[in-house]
Amino acid sequence: MATFVLGSGSTGRRMILKNAGLDFEVIHPRVDEDEIRAGFDAAAHEDPHATLAVELARAKALEVSTRTALPVLGADQLLVLEGRIFTKPRNMAEARRQLEALRGRTHRLVSALCVARQGEVEWIHVKHADMTMRPFSDAFLDWYLETAGEKVLSSVGGYQVEGPGIQLFERIEGDVFTIIGLPLLPFLDWLRGQGLIPA
């Protein structure tokens, strides 16, 4: 029997929760992320990237929480390089451009979680990981895009570290769950605190 709802269409997040032995349902949020980003005033916040990631996660959790009595986990992740926010590439050419921009540099992944229940926020958590790509060759980039294929379009930055995308990197500072987009240990702690899973 499900103990909570994942308010996300992410297969990576679903995999993390399923592999952890959790029982949950999935309801896709009806949220216009572009509209939230466009209306966000970065200058009004001390840490705008963390705040925006939280706002997006909050919007998803709250929207889905109006359609179920169970607690809803909303999540979002931003990729930030020197103040520029990257979104999922729309096509393979854009994926190539993103990877060329990230090559040989360090970017930050900001992952935010929000739990809401029937229109009320109950818990928020945000964590980041710093990712340094190696200065890979154009030949490697060709190989990577051909090997990874359309999967590169499902992740910001055009990579998934749980696949061949790990070969893009020379250094990673942060845990794998944050990188995939769901900092798992704090969420498990919240579930235990609520008595939703055994302590």
Cα distances from 189 to residues 32, 78, 158, in angstroms, run 30, 23, 31
Residue with tokens 């340094």: 132
What is the DSSP pairing of strand 4-6 with strand 24-26?
A: parallel
76 an active-site residue? yes
Q: Which stretches within 26-175 are classed as H helix?
A: 33-38, 48-65, 92-102, 138-148
Residue 83 CB neighbours (<10 A): 8
Rounded distance between C-alpha atoms, residue 109 and residue 49, angstroms: 10
Of 34, 41, 76, 142, the catalytic one is 76
Residue 74 CB neighbours (<10 A): 28
Contact (CB, 8 A) for 75 and 10: yes
**Among the listed residues 13, 23, 129, the one whose alpha carbon sits nearest the alpha carbon of residue 60:** 13
Contact (CB, 8 A) for 145 and 162: no
Contact (CB, 8 A) for 60 and 74: yes
| Active site residue ranges | 76
